[in-house]
Structure 1
């Protein structure tokens, strides 16, 4: 690690320690209650009352501090979280070996690929609100580097969540006047949304084609501009000097992890030794959905696996009014579907590793039982107690992200927001007063609903 980054991490750690206090613990149920009431300050205090340096804790602090408007504290938590996730993602070989003998919870939680990516989304917004556009663009570029590292590590890697982040990057590059990078980002976003629209129900945002037309013309890419006009039509005229208000609506909660028990059969006559555990684990996993007669069974192997439970919100729609203009937000990300699909694509590997771990425990139990019945019972009791699924995650993430982009004349505006279900029912309204937009500039805001 460079001395500069070490110094920055130490400063972040000091900032978190100084603002933490108390000795009471928090529960996720209590935290959700204060979040739902919009009392983000209390939510942050609940977290600070029971501090630690685990990745899940730091991610929760980073996000809640962001909603509380404590952007420096949020960035401090995310800075440490990012370092921990990066470090854990590439090492801890000894803990990997220990996890094979006990459970995945022995390993420090390194975060999912998508959780690591969303750190940069919130850090970029923090810097936008702090008036540090260059730092916001650094986060965008670091996210792009992270996505490339995922692809380099796995030549079969496909990640639907990259479309949203490419679109978000395009918005920030365009705001910063970096037309070329904005154009590239929007092109990547359009490609990703088209590719995954059927699987995830998130289609290209309506404005993306018009942005591509304007940017292509501004960059002199006339053939590209003509192609996008054919696909999306001519962009609407925007008066010179007008700016834009960009509102992100984050709704609900990302899917919740829970433990699921699975029973795998070992048949009479099955023989294997420790060096064959992986191949035999594959055999046992293939039996998962096959029914056997009791006489065929030697042992029922219990394995504990993490699984996801969707918690899709009710208020999925946001309508925005500014002066005489009205815009409906467009869904740009479905974290529920992306996270669940990514998780399911990796579930085969998790199941195989878990089955191999349980088989090693079974061998230990069988050896102990041959020597002594009591020893066998003790080993089996340990095996049952240590078979725990890893259900750690970033629990306060939203389920859905939508965006509304409203062109406005320069000046100060009251922004009206109406939240409802897809059919317009359950309507709830909020107002952002006094949003100032300079000529040709962009004002950003992100809002969260939980129901």
Structure 2
């Protein structure tokens, strides 16, 4: 191998490697969303359309889809989400990209999306169809959600991993109900209940949403499953009631903004072994990774490796209630995207450690070989190799931090409903939501967004 060529290549990428985190690069876009300036965010996405054919293709599509939906351009939004969906189906890792990511910098690979990010694509597509009252298309998204959940379950065998999503099942139930299919809705709600009681309780310390309890009992009644209705009503402490509301509304409150990725670093001592083996050791965290260096005598006794981490963005609003003038309806906490994000990254940290240390070790091995020809160049390359270390901090940052929902009865001819928001300082804001026209027996499903969040840059990266 021509090590001078390798050195030149590393020098070319030093600027790239020392670049700010992805959140810092997209700070103004995030700020526009948090402040509700959706038109400004849309202009920023249009100006970055080159992303659509690069390593950020997935993020370009999902961010464009989110912004279009927030602007109530639902058809255009779904065109973008559909492209993201196709990307997920077709994306295959490039050998050349993966090689560059391993040898130089992980940001040289195309970002494929985290597991939970891929599931959210179908969620937002379904929301758009429900806004447009295209229930058949929303049902198709239901089926795609189910396929995506099956792929996720097949991907992992450990019960300690995030491999089932309770909220996606809740969403499937909501869609089935909107399409007047209480039987499949009941099945979806029952599946969600089991996952909340097991996976979510264990992994995220989450309780079963109160609204889900009523949804299970109600759909069991509507399907004629009286034994199930009585069983769940008794288990939840709910009285069986026959509902004769003119219509109903499900409001999905998408609150805050998801965490962002930053970097953190660890120092590893290099312990020489026998037969060409060395070991990278960090005593503080009890980490030990062996590496075969062969005849390459590393010129350093320690290295610093950097890894991705999530940083939470605190939401400005902490509570909300709906009011129709005579009754108030609380929201039920249904999805903690913040906690899921941390969990997904935690699950693969051992792999992140291994890949990062392998990349660092390869750089140091090359530096050791160069030192055999020119000690000065070898030392410079060793230092440069450490300086160019960077973690992959890309993520879908326009996702909400969490999702809550509630169901309220609607009166014939009702045109508005009030929502009262409580912020982190205890202050209250009252807003009036306009309702679309609806018919008797219709089940409206609408999203509501409050993306106001505190700046992640305020945290110590």
Shorter-normalised TM-score: what interval? 0.7 to 0.9
Distance in 1 (CA, whole Å) between partners of 2:389 and 2:66 is: 31
In the TM superposition, residue 405 of structure 1 has moved relative to its aligned partner by 1.1
Give the 3-state SS of the residue equivalent to 1:412 in structure 2.
coil
Distance in 2 (CA, whole Å) between partners of 1:445 and 1:66 is: 12
Q: Equivalent of 1:375, from 374, 377, 399?
A: 377
Matches within 5 A, 1:235-254: 235=239, 237=241, 239-254=243-258
Whether the 8 Å contact between 2:360 and 2:386 is mirrored in structure 1 is no
Matches within 5 A, 1:38-57: 38-51=36-49, 52-53=51-52, 54-57=57-60
Matches within 5 A, 1:413-428: 413-421=415-423, 425-428=426-429
Whether the 8 Å contact between 1:243 and 1:439 is mirrored in structure 2 is yes
Whether the 8 Å contact between 2:253 and 2:404 is mirrored in structure 1 is yes
Unaligned 5+ runs, structure 1: 1-25, 274-279, 292-296
Q: Equivalent of 2:84, from 81, 86, 89?
A: 81
Matches within 5 A, 1:191-230: 191-195=194-198, 196-197=200-201, 199-230=203-234
Distance in 1 (CA, whole Å) between partners of 2:212 and 2:43 is: 40
Whether the 8 Å contact between 2:271 and 2:281 is mirrored in structure 1 is no
- The residue that corresponds to 1:21 in the other structure is none
Give the 3-state SS of the residue equivalent to 2:301 in structure 1.
strand
Whether the 8 Å contact between 1:166 and 1:189 is mirrored in structure 2 is yes
Whether the 8 Å contact between 2:271 and 2:280 is mirrored in structure 1 is no
Q: Equivalent of 1:346, from 327, 345, 348?
A: 348
Distance in 1 (CA, whole Å) between partners of 2:89 and 2:201 is: 30
In the superposition, relative to structure 1, how do residues 77 and 288 fare at CA in structure 2: closer, same or farther (>3 Å)? Answer: farther
In the TM superposition, residue 287 of structure 1 has moved relative to its aligned partner by 4.3
- The residue that corresponds to 1:139 in the other structure is 141
Q: Equivalent of 2:119, from 108, 117, 136?
A: 117
**C-alpha offsets along residues 163-183 of structure 1, whole Å, 9 cap, x if unaligned?**
011111111111112222211
Distance in 1 (CA, whole Å) between partners of 2:399 and 2:191 is: 24
Distance in 2 (CA, whole Å) between partners of 1:123 and 1:94 is: 33
In the TM superposition, residue 125 of structure 1 has moved relative to its aligned partner by 0.6
In the superposition, relative to structure 1, how do residues 147 and 33 fare at CA in structure 2: closer, same or farther (>3 Å)? Answer: same
Whether 2:32 is the aligned partner of 1:37: answer: no
In the superposition, relative to structure 1, how do residues 301 and 209 fare at CA in structure 2: closer, same or farther (>3 Å)? Answer: same
Q: CA RMSD in A?
A: 2.5
Distance in 1 (CA, whole Å) between partners of 2:305 and 2:360 is: 7
In the superposition, relative to structure 1, how do residues 123 and 393 fare at CA in structure 2: closer, same or farther (>3 Å)? Answer: same
Distance in 2 (CA, whole Å) between partners of 1:160 and 1:330 is: 22
**C-alpha offsets along residues 71-126 of structure 1, whole Å, 9 cap, x if unaligned?**
122112111222223333x4324432332211211110000001100011100011
* Larger RCO, structures 1/2 (Cα 8 Å, 6+ apart): 2
Q: Equivalent of 2:269, from 261, 265, 272?
A: 265
Whether the 8 Å contact between 2:30 and 2:397 is mirrored in structure 1 is no
Distance in 1 (CA, whole Å) between partners of 2:76 and 2:223 is: 39
In the TM superposition, residue 381 of structure 1 has moved relative to its aligned partner by 4.7
In the superposition, relative to structure 1, how do residues 326 and 435 fare at CA in structure 2: closer, same or farther (>3 Å)? Answer: farther
- The residue that corresponds to 2:440 in the other structure is 439
- The residue that corresponds to 1:189 in the other structure is 192
Query: What is the TM-score of this pair, normalised by structure 1?
Result: 0.84
In the TM superposition, residue 147 of structure 1 has moved relative to its aligned partner by 1.4
Q: Equivalent of 1:101, from 100, 103, 107?
A: 103
How many residues are paired up? 412
Distance in 2 (CA, whole Å) between partners of 1:205 and 1:224 is: 19
In the superposition, relative to structure 1, how do residues 298 and 34 fare at CA in structure 2: closer, same or farther (>3 Å)? Answer: closer
Give the 3-state SS of the residue equivalent to 1:207 in structure 2.
helix
In the TM superposition, residue 323 of structure 1 has moved relative to its aligned partner by 3.4
Give the 3-state SS of the residue equivalent to 1:45 in structure 2.
helix
Whether the 8 Å contact between 1:63 and 1:74 is mirrored in structure 2 is yes
- The residue that corresponds to 1:22 in the other structure is none
* Most deviating of 128-137 and 215-224: 215-224
Unaligned 5+ runs, structure 2: 1-23, 288-298, 454-461
Whether 2:389 is the aligned partner of 1:387: answer: yes
- The residue that corresponds to 1:58 in the other structure is 61
In the TM superposition, residue 265 of structure 1 has moved relative to its aligned partner by 1.1
- The residue that corresponds to 2:361 in the other structure is 359
Give the 3-state SS of the residue equivalent to 1:411 in structure 2.
coil
Distance in 2 (CA, whole Å) between partners of 1:269 and 1:434 is: 71
- The residue that corresponds to 1:5 in the other structure is none
- The residue that corresponds to 1:9 in the other structure is none
* Most deviating of 70-79 and 369-378: 369-378
In the superposition, relative to structure 1, how do residues 254 and 366 fare at CA in structure 2: closer, same or farther (>3 Å)? Answer: same
Distance in 2 (CA, whole Å) between partners of 1:290 and 1:185 is: 43
In the superposition, relative to structure 1, how do residues 409 and 198 fare at CA in structure 2: closer, same or farther (>3 Å)? Answer: farther
In the TM superposition, residue 209 of structure 1 has moved relative to its aligned partner by 2.5
Distance in 2 (CA, whole Å) between partners of 1:185 and 1:434 is: 27
Whether 2:296 is the aligned partner of 1:300: answer: no
Give the 3-state SS of the residue equivalent to 1:266 in structure 2.
strand
Whether the 8 Å contact between 2:269 and 2:282 is mirrored in structure 1 is no
